[in-house]
Amino acid sequence: MDQTILGIESYCDETAAAVYQSKTGIQSNVIFSQSQHQRYGGTVPEIASRAHLEKIGFIVTQALKVANRTLDNIDVIAVTNKPGLPGSLLIGVCFAKAIAWAKQKKIIGINHLEGHAFSSFLEHVVPFPHLCLTVSGGHTSLYLIHDFGQYTLLGRTLDDAAGEAFDKVAKFLGLPYPGGPIIEKLAQAANFKDFFHYPRSMSNSYDFSFSGLKTAVLYDLVKKGMYDLNTKMVSDSIDRTVQQQVASSLLVCMSDIFKNKLKRAIKDYKNIKAVTFVGGVACNKFLQEQLHTLCIAHNLPFFVPSKEYCTDNAAMIAFVGNYKAARNEFADYTLDIFE
């Protein structure tokens, strides 16, 4: 059955809408990234929900326009309803419910993480079963994916997400938010060398932990006189070389952590046919290369979405909406949010 899905995403600080058609794929993918949070060094929930409210009508209209559609020729509305910032999720869900009711359209609530986990399918045909490493500012998880909508969580972070660790270390170095892309640039300038040998958590489970790593970097900077714990101020004497060496050591450490978990999973799940790497942190070319090399060594195809589908977007939400609609997994107008 050919159907057209309007996807709406507002779980954190990106207001996004996209149109996906079952037979022909992505028709539009429009994203508004809220830059208002940069000066606070992280997302401010109240500012995020207000910004969603201001932008959502425009973004949805744009997505329909680019796809050359109106609401009348949309079959289903798929909207992120969990997990996320409650105020942000509410804007997307209320907007989706309002237009669904006004135009008598079917509606489906989508898990943001399921969106990321299947985002590779927007551009690739990935064989099942496969391993999916989802790494973003809010989440770090390893899944065994059996089929569309069927997956087992093997492990997740017990504290900070990896993207959050990048963002926080950037803050300790006096760098702007979001930290991941800047850390990557600085690390490249230091040739991705491991200067400081930060600790790799040695846990035997598939779970991750990044708060110890973050604290190790912080205390190393304090020891070097680059950060004052009392005033929470970065020293004026911090220079580009220190920033590059810290960034490079952090990235190499992250890469080792991901490689170790993946190596174990590849060994434990011998029937897997591929590996995918998704979420905002998957934009990182060094991490991509490292994981790709590991997969080549194990004779496994490796898939990473394009940048616009790695970071938060509504195309991945519409894609999940498409297979859920095909299975009649619709919600009704009582659809609610879950943190």
Kindly list the residues in this chain that would bind ligand KG4 in the complex (CB under 6 A). Answer: 12, 136-138, 163, 166-167, 178-181, 184, 279-281, 283-284, 311-312
CB atoms within 10 A of CB 138: 22
How many residues bind Zn ion (CB under 5 A)? The answer is 2
| Closest approach of ligand KG4 to the CB of residue 102, in Å | 29
d(CA 251, CA 309): 22
| Closest approach of Zn ion to the CB of residue 51, in Å | 17
Residue pair 243/255 in contact by the 8 Å Cβ criterion: no
Q: Does 134 bind Zn ion (CB under 5 A)?
A: no
Task: Specify the residue, 114 or 312, whose C-beta has the smaller distance to Zn ion.
Answer: 312
| Closest approach of ligand KG4 to the CB of residue 204, in Å | 26
The stretch near Zn ion (CB under 5 A) out of 135-143, 221-229, 262-270, 321-329 is 135-143
Residue in the block written with tokens 């609609």:
325
Which residue from 277, 312, 321, 322 is in contact with Zn ion, where contact means CB under 5 A? Answer: 312
Helix (H), strand (E) at residue 99: helix 86-103
Upper half-sphere CA count for residue 163 (Cβ side, 13 Å):
24
Residue pair 278/134 in contact by the 8 Å Cβ criterion: yes
d(CA 15, CA 56): 6
d(CA 92, CA 120): 23
Task: Specify the residue, 3 or 209, whose C-beta has the smaller distance to ligand KG4.
Answer: 209
| Closest approach of ligand KG4 to the CB of residue 117, in Å | 12
Upper half-sphere CA count for residue 97 (Cβ side, 13 Å):
16
Residue 85's binding partner among ligand KG4, Zn ion, none (Cβ under 5 to 8 angstroms by kind) is none
Task: Specify the residue, 4 or 284, whose C-beta has the smaller distance to ligand KG4.
Answer: 284
| Closest approach of ligand KG4 to the CB of residue 113, in Å | 9
Which residue from 4, 27, 49, 136 is in contact with Zn ion, where contact means CB under 5 A? Answer: 136
Residue in the block written with tokens 């898990």:
111
Look at the alpha carbons of 66, 18, 132, 272 in this order and tell me if their dihedral is positive or negative.
Answer: negative
Contacts of 270 (CB under 8 A, 6+ apart): none
| Closest approach of ligand KG4 to the CB of residue 68, in Å | 27
Task: Specify the residue, 138 or 155, whose C-beta has the smaller distance to ligand KG4.
Answer: 138
Task: Specify the residue, 106 or 261, whose C-beta has the smaller distance to ligand KG4.
Answer: 261
Where does this chain bind Zn ion (CB under 5 A)?
Answer: 136, 312
